[in-house]
A = this chain, B = another copy of it.
Amino acid sequence: MAIIGNYPFLVEPFTEDATGNLSWGLLGNQLLRCAGMQAGSCGFGFEDMEQYHHVWVLARLIIDMDEMPRTGQAYNIQTWVTKVYHQFTDRLFTISSPEGHTFGHAFSTWALINYETREPMDLAHLPEGNIMDFTSPKTIPLKKAGRCRVTADCPMKSNPVYYSDLDINGHVNSIRYIQMAADLFTQEICSEGHSLYRVEVGFANETYLGDTLHFYTDGFHDNQAQVDIRRNDGKTAAKVALFFR
Contact = CB atoms under 8 A, between A and B. Distances in A.
A189 interface: yes
A55 interface: no
Given A14-B29, A33-B12, A33-B13, A182 B163 contact: yes
Given A12-B33, A162-B183, A182-B163, A168 B209 contact: no
Copies in the complex: 2
- Of A29, A162, A180, which is in contact with the most chain B CB atoms at under 10 Å from its CB? A162
A164 B164 CA distance: 12
A18 B31 CA distance: 20
Contacts of A187: 209
A155 interface: no
A119 interface: no
Interface in A153-173: 160-164, 166-170, 173
A92 B29 CA distance: 30
Contacts of A59: none
A124 to B, nearest CB: 27
Contacts of A190: 163, 166, 170, 209
Contacts of A163: 17-18, 179, 182-183, 185-186, 189-190
Given A18-B170, A163-B182, 10 more contacts: A13-B46, A14-B36, A14-B173, A18-B167, A25-B164, A71-B168, A161-B186, A162-B183, A164-B179, A186-B209
28 contacts: A13-B36, A14-B29, A14-B33, A14-B36, A15-B29, A17-B163, A17-B166, A17-B167, A17-B168, A18-B166, A18-B167, A18-B168, A20-B168, A71-B168, A162-B183, A162-B186, A163-B179, A163-B182, A163-B183, A163-B185, A163-B186, A163-B190, A164-B180, A164-B182, A166-B190, A170-B190, A187-B209, A190-B209
